[in-house]
Amino acid sequence: MHIRFWGTRGSLAKAGPTTLRYGGNTSCVEVSMADGALIIFDCGTGAHGLGQVLMASGKRPIDGHLLITHTHWDHIQGFPFFAPLFIPGNTWDIYAPGGLGNRLEETLAGQMEYTYFPVTLEQLGATIRFHDLVEGTFDLHGGRVTARYLNHPALALGYRLDVGGVSVVYATDHEPHTRDQSHAVDPNASPSRALEVHREEQGHMAFLSQADLVIHDAQYTAAEYPQKVGWGHSTVEYAVDVALAAQVKRLALFHHDPLRDDAAVDRLVDLGRQRVATRGGTLEVFAAAEGQVVELPEVGQSPARPVTHTAVDVEASATAHAAVTILIVDDEPDIVRLLQVTLRPEGFRLLAAHDGETALQMARTERPSLLLMDWQMPGRDGLEVCRALRAETDPQLRDMPVVLLTAQSKNEHVEAGFAAGVTDYLTKPFYPAYVRSRVREWLLRKRVETP
């Protein structure tokens, strides 16, 4: 497996003398498999250079698979400038998180409307096949792709590629699931216990598990993080901690902040390496640099990883929103209103309750697809309602996703919530974009699990 970084910058392309070594182009990583298959992670401005090189190679046709994490600008702005898409005879499969009506093709066509760009999506010469993905696993040539939702204020997927006994994970635009990262400011402090108690952190580590290379969001430092909560990005310290815990071999710090010059990125690398050394780990840490190549020799068959379900083309996920009911439960009317205002444009059927007892009754009669519920309420609190639901015999109630709304992010609280059967947390104060992406994620996960 041959990996080449074409764009390593996050948020905004930053060309100029301060970013010469690590590069100024936004997210784009090329992966060539030993059998010649071409896979590209994200299509930021770095895709322009990759397209030029592919065109100059003389190889025809130029076919490939483009795996997009999400459609924020820094991950798709190179799409209209990726030359192989203009050539008849080429075939491109394009994958991105889909579902709930927000289709990939429409989104990509949106940035190519006449107002923004002279060529429309329909005018591209290549055969383009769009695939709306949900979390899951699918085969691609001789390899296997696993897609997993990341924690970001837009529905975003990370990708893991296992092929020929080697594995690379591309996990960018991801924020720690636990808001309190204060422990990480001290280089000698042990990693947060949140990595052990938060189910979503465990899921993230399983996704990274024993990978040969993890390309991970590391836009900020733990010291900067309190000012960046809710922006959807990781710290170097968190990236190192999860990579160590997941027994990863090499970690490429990625999605460099546009304000960070080359010397500042060097300091992030030092910070990460020190953290590994303090733990006595063997993890190799470097910062992804534009033009850099990593070779991972394919040595044999891919390890057998269970196919949970096919992640591709889940047409069911495009069914009307109107069918989806969400029950919002909070004794503070302002929170209920905020969630209603946030979720109403998505077209969901929204129900509200202001105490636990009513919530439980409504869950039984209305059978919502998702419960967004406050922890502390008069009478039955959120945990009691959750325990009651988990004790039901009807699987629709027993397995109903329950996302707990709480201002508490201490490990003891998180642990108590998961023990009560809570599916996930939304920490107050929350941001509308995060609410939307978490809700979409849980609805899509739920949908796939139910045959």
Block residue for tokens 């939702």: 149
The CA radius of gyration of the chain, in Å to the nearest whole number, is 22
Cα–Cα separations (whole angstroms), residue 358 to 207, 365, 385: 38, 11, 10
Question: Which one, of 143, 175, 253, 252, lies nearest residue 438 by Cα?
Answer: 175
Instruction: Please list the helix, strand and coil fractions of the chain in percent, rounded to the nearest 5, in that order.
Output: 35, 25, 40
Nearest approach, Cβ of residue 13 and Zn ion (Å): 11
Q: Please tell me what DSSP assigns to residue 192.
A: P
User: Least Å distance between CB 107 and Zn ion?
Assistant: 13
> What is the C-alpha separation between 336 and 332, in angstroms, rounded?
7
- Of 173 and 175, nearer to Zn ion (C-beta) is 173
Which residues are bridge partners to 169 per DSSP? 160, 214
Q: Which residues contact 137 (CB under 8 A, 6 or more apart)?
A: 144, 145, 146, 147, 305, 306, 307, 308, 309, 310, 311
With residue 295 as reference, give the H or E element that holds it.
strand 293-295
Q: Which two tokens stand for residue 338?
A: 């905020």
CB-nearest residue to Zn ion: 72
Question: Tokens standing for 161?
Answer: 């590629």
* Cβ 152 to Zn ion shortest distance, Å: 6
- Residues 237, 211, 135, 257: is their CA dihedral positive or negative? positive
Give the CA diameter of the chain. Answer: 71
CB nearer Zn ion, residue 148 or residue 275: 148
Candidates 227, 221, 290, 293; CA nearest to 257 is: 221
| CA–CA distance, 260 with 267 (Å, rounded to integer) | 10
d(Cα 120, Cα 40) in Å, to the nearest integer?
Answer: 22
Q: Is the dihedral of CA 332, 333, 334, 335 positive or negative?
A: positive
Nearer to Zn ion, 198 or 233 (CB): 233
Contacting positions for Zn ion (CB under 5 A)? 10, 72, 74, 173
Identity of the residue numbered 369: S
Strand pairing report for 91-97 and 64-67: parallel
Phi-psi region of 259 (alpha: psi -120 to 50; beta: other; left: phi over 0): alpha
Residue 84: name the closest of 112, 110, 111, 63 by CA. Answer: 63
Residues 229 and 219 sit within 8 Å (Cβ to Cβ):
no
- Give dist(CA 405, CA 385) in Å, integer: 13
Shortest Å, Cβ 75 to Zn ion: 6
- Please report how close the Cβ of residue 135 comes to Zn ion at its closest, in angstroms: 17
